[in-house]
Chains A and B, each alone.
Chain A
């Protein structure tokens, strides 16, 4: 009774172009590849004297961060500026909501200021989806992280980093290690890896940090890191939030580090050319040893560089799709 909708459909135009970017789930391999190819073309831009392209000239991008963030916010800001957009950063966690304004009212207010794109981070899963579907469908919505649901630009910058390092996706074994339960990054990574053809995706965590039936996403579950990391090509570490320590999920940081922290000893079990990634900010000595984070197999800083390029790619693609879908709409109205 009552069919359910595919949550990813909201982000596509009727012609299948991106008009919001909410989740990597259910996007086609062609779409993900197009994002990576577009991002590739922006990677070199950063090294040039003039770092700007005019793709978003005259457009207003609002970075709406309902959850504190420094690096994601600054890479989105840089990405928008390099696309020549006008950028407004709003840290809502400290303003409107504390005055009792609802998310919808906040968005409607910004909508009335004729914004063209909202980059949204929110602590509730489904927040970006809610805004794109119910509040401002005619403003391109880029999900900069919603609860535990999705962080699609992070996943795509990780895919770009893997592609640069490894070339093809299909033959790879990839391990995602750490707090899978609370991780929107892990979920988006898993969907993207699957779609791009990686067959051997492993998640490694104690049972307290694994969501129920995570294997239904197409991953193999390991609770023993030594086994899980064996012969993998890519190790993707997740950040362990300090507050998890106070909620009976883990006995202590030191026990977590001993069992699941990425050390040189454990990395030695992976393939000799295995690379190490981390979405940052890293907790040295909690989930990753300094010696690993700083070694030449660590791609952590490449991820940051790629983050700007990927965000430029999805912002320009979503704006283009949104503009077309708006003019289609206006066309039919006339």
Chain B
């Protein structure tokens, strides 16, 4: 299938392109940029005038819930949500049921993903068996079955010797380790940032130290073991400062942040709105400012959705009794465009953080529209206003505080490996 994407503003940070130019796709790959290649017979033209054409978004953390509770989501439903949000690659945590600690589970996810035929999913593997923090997971076999990185999720490996062994073993095979830093005892029973709002609402708090203590430990052990390490979904300004300092010392660590932690704070929890029950929690204005600063200054390279779909019953209870997390695949781009609207970033810089930067961290070829590369493409109208509704959203979860909220910037077409996998109606 030969596709001609016509008249759009092509933004391809990998090749420093930002211009009105056409894109030609053939056999699932970029055939040409600018003018049609010789003997190119167009099967389909996509009119991209007044739209942005960029690499498909790469989401470094999104839960697809499969294998696991089908009422929360499946690879099929969450893939649909992803492409509606312009996302063509997503990385899924190992906290499925069963956990991704055996090659069979990793393979199942890859197979289901191919069956769904919308996007590419790279599962993260468990760092330890059953995420219990006691025995090493078979990382090499998991990597061979498609795991792109290894994490113990938010269940930090309590035993520092075991963690050291995990990192040494991952370093042996040059595997990427992702820390979703949270000290279990300091976070125990907590459901929001421990500060004055938490005090007023009488909820159990999660102090910053729940994150920063673990970030400090992970940084020290990363340095000692020489493992390739990435910090996922930071929430504290202090974490950003520690990682900046480590990077300045030459430690090649990277980091990402979820869009919600860049936009919202703990004050949003006022009124006990369960959609703001998130882990990591929304933190203070100071933390939010520190995360934005970290993103602009380069300490944090990528923005992710931290998509966590839930069935409605999981959110229908008093605040602390609900399950944490919000959906975010369909709103990642629109919400991120707010940073451009506020002139914190320009559009090419933002797109870099949603495409090339995660690709670089993960060692992927995607996020780059050079000739010969995979044609994973997102086309969006940066000005179109729209509203996410429970009826229109594709994710099985409807749990987001942005439901019904006016949004700006809408995906019109998504291409995965040269196939049109989404077209807005």
Q: Which residues of A contact B (CB under 8 A)?
A: 1-2, 4-7, 25, 102-104, 122, 124-127, 129-130, 133-134, 146-150, 184, 187, 211-214, 216-217
In contact, B201 and A211 (Cβ under 8 angstroms): no
Tell me which of B194, B202, B271, B273 contacts A147 (CB under 8 A). B202
Tell me which of B196, B202, B317, B401 contacts A148 (CB under 8 A). B202
In contact, A122 and B198 (Cβ under 8 angstroms): no
Cβ-based interface call for B223 (8 A): no
Alpha-carbon distance A129/B202, docked complex (angstroms):
13
- Among B13-21, B262-270, B359-367, B410-418, the one that faces the other chain is B262-270
In contact, B201 and A134 (Cβ under 8 angstroms): no
Of all A-B residue pairs in the complex, the 10 with the closest CB atoms, nearest first, are A148-B202, A149-B202, A124-B318, A216-B196, A5-B271, A126-B272, A127-B318, A211-B199, A213-B196, A125-B202
Residue of B whose beta carbon sits closest to that of A182: B202
218-245 of chain B: CB within 8 A of chain A: none
Residues of B within 8 A of A122 (CB): 318
Q: Which residues of B contact A (CB under 8 A)?
A: 194-196, 198-203, 205, 207, 263-264, 267-273, 313, 316-321, 338, 401-402, 405
Residues of B within 8 A of A125 (CB): 201-203, 272, 318-320
In contact, B271 and A134 (Cβ under 8 angstroms): no
In contact, A7 and B271 (Cβ under 8 angstroms): yes
In contact, B263 and A1 (Cβ under 8 angstroms): yes
Alpha-carbon distance A2/B264, docked complex (angstroms):
8
Shortest CB-to-CB span from A275 to chain B, Å, is 26
- Would you list 27 pairs from A and B whose C-beta atoms are within 8 A, ordered by A residue? A2-B401, A2-B405, A5-B270, A6-B270, A6-B271, A7-B270, A25-B200, A103-B317, A103-B318, A104-B317, A124-B318, A124-B320, A124-B321, A125-B201, A125-B272, A125-B320, A126-B203, A126-B318, A148-B203, A149-B202, A150-B202, A187-B202, A212-B196, A212-B207, A214-B199, A217-B196, A217-B199
Alpha-carbon distance A170/B402, docked complex (angstroms):
43
Residue of A whose beta carbon sits closest to that of B405: A2
In contact, A126 and B319 (Cβ under 8 angstroms): yes
Alpha-carbon distance A214/B201, docked complex (angstroms):
11
In contact, B264 and A104 (Cβ under 8 angstroms): no
In contact, A184 and B272 (Cβ under 8 angstroms): no
Shortest CB-to-CB span from B275 to chain A, Å, is 10
In contact, A2 and B319 (Cβ under 8 angstroms): no
Alpha-carbon distance A4/B196, docked complex (angstroms):
15
Residue of A whose beta carbon sits closest to that of B402: A2
In contact, B202 and A213 (Cβ under 8 angstroms): no
In contact, B268 and A147 (Cβ under 8 angstroms): no
Residues of B within 8 A of A124 (CB): 317-321
In contact, A4 and B202 (Cβ under 8 angstroms): no
In contact, A102 and B317 (Cβ under 8 angstroms): yes
Alpha-carbon distance A103/B268, docked complex (angstroms):
24
What is the count of residue pairs linking A and B with beta-carbon distances less than 8 angstroms? 98
Shortest CB-to-CB span from B262 to chain A, Å, is 10
Residue of B whose beta carbon sits closest to that of A188: B202
Residues of A within 8 A of B402 (CB): 2
In contact, A5 and B316 (Cβ under 8 angstroms): no
Residues of B within 8 A of A103 (CB): 317-318, 321
Question: Given that A1-B338, A2-B401, A148-B202 are contacting pairs, would A212 and B195 also be in contact in the complex, using a CB cutoff of 8 Å?
Answer: yes
Residues of B within 8 A of A148 (CB): 202-203
Alpha-carbon distance A104/B315, docked complex (angstroms):
11
Shortest CB-to-CB span from A145 to chain B, Å, is 10
Shortest CB-to-CB span from B370 to chain A, Å, is 36
In contact, A211 and B313 (Cβ under 8 angstroms): no
Alpha-carbon distance A214/B316, docked complex (angstroms):
29
Listed residue (A2, A5, A102, A122) with the most chain B CB atoms within 10 angstroms of its CB: A2
Alpha-carbon distance A184/B402, docked complex (angstroms):
31
In contact, A147 and B203 (Cβ under 8 angstroms): yes
In contact, A211 and B198 (Cβ under 8 angstroms): yes
Tell me which of B199, B202, B271, B320 contacts A212 (CB under 8 A). B199
Residues of A within 8 A of B338 (CB): 1
Shortest CB-to-CB span from B331 to chain A, Å, is 12
Alpha-carbon distance A25/B194, docked complex (angstroms):
20
Residue of B whose beta carbon sits closest to that of A183: B202
Alpha-carbon distance A268/B87, docked complex (angstroms):
69
Alpha-carbon distance A146/B272, docked complex (angstroms):
12
Question: Given that A149-B202, A213-B196 are contacting pairs, would A130 and B317 also be in contact in the complex, using a CB cutoff of 8 Å?
Answer: yes
Alpha-carbon distance A103/B203, docked complex (angstroms):
18
Shortest CB-to-CB span from A119 to chain B, Å, is 16
Residue of B whose beta carbon sits closest to that of A190: B200
Residues of B within 8 A of A149 (CB): 201-203
Question: Given that A125-B201, A213-B195, A213-B196 are contacting pairs, would A4 and B267 also be in contact in the complex, using a CB cutoff of 8 Å?
Answer: yes
Alpha-carbon distance A214/B199, docked complex (angstroms):
7
Residues of B within 8 A of A211 (CB): 198-199, 205
Shortest CB-to-CB span from A93 to chain B, Å, is 14
Listed residue (B199, B203, B313) with the most chain A CB atoms within 10 angstroms of its CB: B199
Shortest CB-to-CB span from A135 to chain B, Å, is 8
Residues of B within 8 A of A5 (CB): 270-271, 273
Alpha-carbon distance A6/B268, docked complex (angstroms):
10
Question: Given that A7-B272, A25-B200 are contacting pairs, would A126 and B195 also be in contact in the complex, using a CB cutoff of 8 Å?
Answer: no
Residues of A within 8 A of B273 (CB): 4-5
Alpha-carbon distance A22/B405, docked complex (angstroms):
28
Residue of B whose beta carbon sits closest to that of A129: B272
Alpha-carbon distance A241/B419, docked complex (angstroms):
63
Q: A134-B316, A147-B320 are in contact. List 5 more A-B contacts (CB 8 A).
A: A1-B263, A7-B201, A103-B321, A122-B318, A212-B194
In contact, B401 and A212 (Cβ under 8 angstroms): no
In contact, B200 and A126 (Cβ under 8 angstroms): no
Residue of A whose beta carbon sits closest to that of B335: A1
Residues of B within 8 A of A216 (CB): 196, 199-200
Residue of A whose beta carbon sits closest to that of B193: A212
Residues of A within 8 A of B202 (CB): 125, 146-150, 184, 187
Listed residue (A104, A125, A133, A187) with the most chain B CB atoms within 10 angstroms of its CB: A125
In contact, A4 and B316 (Cβ under 8 angstroms): no
